[in-house]
Amino acid sequence: MYGFNLVFIVCLFVVLSYFLVLSLAAVSSDKEAILDLVTSRSNAQRQEIIAAYKSSFGKDLIDDLKYELTGKFERLIVSLMRTPAYHDAKEIHDAVKGAGTDERCLIEVLASRNNKQIHDMVAAYRDAYGREIEEDIIMDTSGHFKKMLVVLLQGTRDESGVVDADLVEQDAQDLYAAGEEQWGTDEAKFIMILGNRSMTHLRMVFDAYEKIAETSIEDSIKSELSGDFERLMLAVVQCIRSVPMFFARRLYKSMKGLGTADNTLIRIMICRSEIDMLDIRECFRLRYEKSLYNMIKDDTSGDYKRTLLELCGGDDDLAGEFFPEAAQIAYKMWELSAMTKVQVWAPISCFTSALTTFWTAGTDEDAIIEIIAKRSNAQRQEIRQAFKSLLGRDLMKDLKSELSKNLERLIIGLMLTPAEFDAKMMRKAMEGAGTDEHALIEILVTRSNEEIQAMCAAYENAYKKSLEAAIQSDTSGHFCRILVSLVQGAREVGPADMERANEDAQELADACNADSDDMEMKFMSILCTRSFPHLRKVFQEFVKCSNKDIEQIIKKEMSGDVKNAFYAIVRSVKNQPSYFADRLYKAMKGLGTDDRALIRIMVSRSEIDLFNIRKEFKETHDASLHEFIQVETMIVSWRLCQLTLLLGLCLAYCIIYKKI
C-alpha cells in the first residue's frame, strides 16, 4: 500500500512538473505567470522544473528567462532558479571580477555561511568557472582582510556545540591581550579565535571578554581594527550573536536613504527565503519598528516588488502587536522542548516570543511576570543571554527602567543567578549606615559550601572587593569571627561520626560552664565547621550530656548577634524549611512588611525547598503561606503578591522537570 502511494506521488509530481514546463514555454513574457510559478515553488522544485524543461524542449530555461525578462526582475527570477551553492558562487565571482571588488558582498556571504554551505559553494565555483574560489579571492584582496576570508573559506569552524569553560576564559584573555591590553593589535589572534571556534563557544567568550575588558568585543574591534578587516570581523561577531539580526541590519541598510542596493536586497531575500526569513522579519520589526514587508513595499516597484514580497511571505504589522508569526512558532518550540524535557543549548529563536514581549511590553507588568515566573533560573539566564545577542541590549537595565520599587527588586532578583543574587543581598545588608545582621546570618548559615564559594566569586567580580573583607569592615567581635568562618565555605560534609559526635557534645556541655568568650569560641569551632548530619547527632548527644536542649542554652547564655547566629545554625540543622518558614512569618507579621526579607527568601528558595517551607508554615502558623502573602502584600503591592504566588506554581514545574 505504501509503495503504491509513493509511486503515485512521484508520478503526480512528474505530471505537474510537465504542465509547469508547458506553462513556462507558453507564457513568453507573461511576467505575472512566471512570478507565480517561480515564487510558489521551493528551490528543489525549481531544479526539477529546469531539468524537465530541458528534457521536453532541449532548451535551457535560465537562458530563455534571461531573454524574456529584463532589469532587476530578470536578476531576481534568474537567481531564484539557481541552487543556493551556485547562487553563492556567482555572487562571489561577480564580487571579484573586473577592476573593482565588492568587499561587502564577500563579507556578507563568507561571514554568514556554515561549513556545509561553504564547501558546496567552493565546489560550485570550481564547476562553474574552472577556477578555485580561494585563488580568486587571494588575487583580489590583501592583508588581514584576505587572511580572514581564507580562514572562513576553509569551512572548518567547530560545529560540535561542546564548550570548554577553561578555553572560554583563555580565549577571552587572549583576545584582550591581543588588543586592548597592548600597544598595537595582534590581528592573527583575532583571526584564529573568531574564525575557528564554535558559535556557542564564542558567545560565551564575548561575555567573558566584556567582564575582563569592561567593553564589548564590538567596541574593541572598532577601536583596534580598521577598514574592510574591521567590517569583516564585526560581521563575524554579529553572525555569531544572531544571523537573523545580521541580515535584518543588512536589509535595512540596503533600502534606507534615497537609493536601493538592489544586489544586496536580491541576494539576501533569495538566500534566506527558505532558511530563516521568519526570524529575519521578526528581528527587523523589533529593531526598526517597521515590518520588512512594508519597507520593501515602500522602496521597490512593479513585478520586482511583487516577487520580493512573495519571498518575504507576510506583513508582520498585521500579525498582532506582540506575537508575529515567527514569535508564535518560537514560543511553541520553547514550550514543547520544556514539556518533553529536552536538554539543549536553546537557539535564540526559542526565546523570540519572550524577547519580543520584553522589547514591546513597555510597562506591561503582567506580560513580564508571565514570562519570568514560569521559567526556571537556568532558563532566565538563557533569556538574558539571548536578549543581548539578539537585540544588543542589557535586559537587566531595560527591566530596571520599566519597573519600580518592590516589583523591580523581585524581578531583578529572579533574573540574577543564585550566586549573583546572594552576593547582591550580602552587599545590600552591609551598605549604608546600618547593617542587616539577620540577612547576613540567614544567607551564610543556610548555603552549601559550593553556594558560598560561588557567592564569594560573584561578590568580588561585582564589587571588586572580597566578601570576607567587606564583612570584616562592617562587623566586629565574635559575630565577625562567626561570619568569617562561615564565608570560607569549608564546612565538613558527610555523615555523622558517632565517636566524634559524643566528644563534640561533651565539649559543648563543658563550655557552658566557662566564661562567655571561651564558650562562644568553642561553639563557633564546632557549629561553624561540622556537617549538618553530624551536628544533628551532636545535638542529640548534648541533651544526654547536659539534660538541656542546645537552643535553650544559646537563648539563655548568649546575647545579640552572636546568639542569633548560633540559634540560626541550630534551627537550620534541625529543620531548615522550618527556619525559613519562621523567617517568612516574621517578615510579614505586624503592621509593616519586611519586603527585602520576603523577596530574598522567596527568590532564593523558589527552586529548592519552597514546597517544604509551605508545609512547615502551615503546620506552625495554622495558615497557608499562599494566603498569608495574599493578605499581607495586598495593600503594599498587588504585583508583588501576584508574582510571589506564581512562584509557587513555578516550583511544581521546576521539580517535575528537574530544574530544566
Q: 554-565: per-residue pLDDT in tens?
A: 999 999 999 999
pLDDT of residue 184: 67
Whether residue 134 sits in one domain with residue 175: no
Is 102 a domain residue? yes
Residues 124 and 90: their CA atoms lie apart, in Å, by 9
Is 460 domain-assigned?
no
Please check whether residues 311 and 370 belong to one and the same domain: no
- Angle among Cα 177, 180, 182 to the nearest 5 degrees reads 60
Q: How high is the pLDDT of residue 299? A: 93
- For residue range 252-297, list pLDDT tens digits in order: 999 998 889 999 999 999 999 999 898 899 899 889 989 999 999 9
Q: Are residues 106 and 135 in the same domain?
A: yes
Would the pLDDT of 3 be above 70? no
- Can you read off the three cell numbers belonging to residue 533? 548530619
Number of residues written out for the chain: 660
Would 514 be classed as within a structural domain?
A: no
pLDDT, tens digit, 9 for 90 and up, residues 371-408: 787 788 888 888 888 777 666 677 888 888 878 778 88
**Percentage, residues of the chain above pLDDT 70:** 83
Q: Answer yes or no: do 290 and 260 share one domain.
A: yes
From CA 180, how far away is CA 190, in angstroms rounded? 12
Domain range for 186? 165-241
Worst-scoring range by mean pLDDT, 31-35, 275-279, 340-344, 623-627?
340-344
For residues 641 and 609, state if they share a domain: yes
Distance CA 145, CA 77 (A): 32
Going by pLDDT thresholds of 50, 70 and 90, the confidence category of residue 364 is: low
For residues 237 and 257, membership in a common domain is answered with no
With respect to residue 593, please indicate whether it lies within any of the assigned structural domains: yes
User: What pLDDT score does 626 carry?
Assistant: 82
Is pLDDT above 70 for 24?
A: no
pLDDT of residue 534: 95
582 shares its domain with 654: yes
- Is residue 197 located within the same domain as residue 134? no
pLDDT digits (tens, 9 = 90+) for 128-149: 999 999 999 999 999 999 999 9
Residues contacting 153, CB < 8 A, separation 6+: 110, 118, 122, 133, 134, 137
Instruction: Among 241, 262, 294, identify where a domain stops.
Output: 241
Q: What is the DSSP letter of 318?
A: G
For residue 286, the Cα-to-chain-centroid distance in whole angstroms is 17
pLDDT in tens, 176-222: 998 877 676 889 899 999 999 999 999 999 999 999 999 999 999 99
Q: pLDDT value at position 334?
A: 43
Q: Domain boundary at 97, 124, 154, which? A: 154
Is the residue at 210 inside a domain? yes
Q: What is the mean pLDDT of the chain?
A: 83
Asked whether residue 456 is assigned to any structural domain, the reply reads no
Q: Rounded to 10 degrees, what is the CA torsion of 637, 639, 643, 646?
A: 110
190 & 225 share domain: yes
**What pLDDT does residue 492 have?**
94
In angstroms and rounded to an integer, the radius of gyration of the C-alpha atoms of the chain is 32
Output the pLDDT for position 390: 61
Number of domains in the chain: 6
**CATH number for the domain including 144?**
1.10.220.10
Answering whether pTM is above 0.75, one says no
Last residue of a domain, one of 110, 126, 154: 154
Mean pLDDT across 346-362: 49
Q: Can you give the pLDDT at residue 647?
A: 55
Instruction: Determine, yes or no, domain membership for 468.
Output: no
For residues 269 and 276, give the distance between their C-alpha atoms in angstroms, rounded to a whole number: 10
Q: How far apart are the first and last CA of the chain?
A: 43
**Do 172 and 216 lie in a common domain?**
yes
Q: Are residues 5 and 15 in the same domain?
A: yes
pLDDT tens digit sequence for 542-588: 998 888 899 999 999 999 999 999 999 999 999 999 999 999 999 88
Could you tell me which of 108, 94, 107, 105 has the C-alpha nearest to residue 136?
94
Lowest mean pLDDT, pick from 368-377, 464-473, 616-625:
368-377
Q: Is 327 among the domain residues?
A: no
Using CA of residue 398, residue 402, residue 404, residue 408, what is the dihedral sign?
Answer: negative
Mean pLDDT in residue range 69-96:
93
pLDDT on residue 328: 47
Q: What is the DSSP letter of 5?
A: H
What separation in angstroms does the CA of 637 have from each of 406, 630, 634?
8, 10, 6
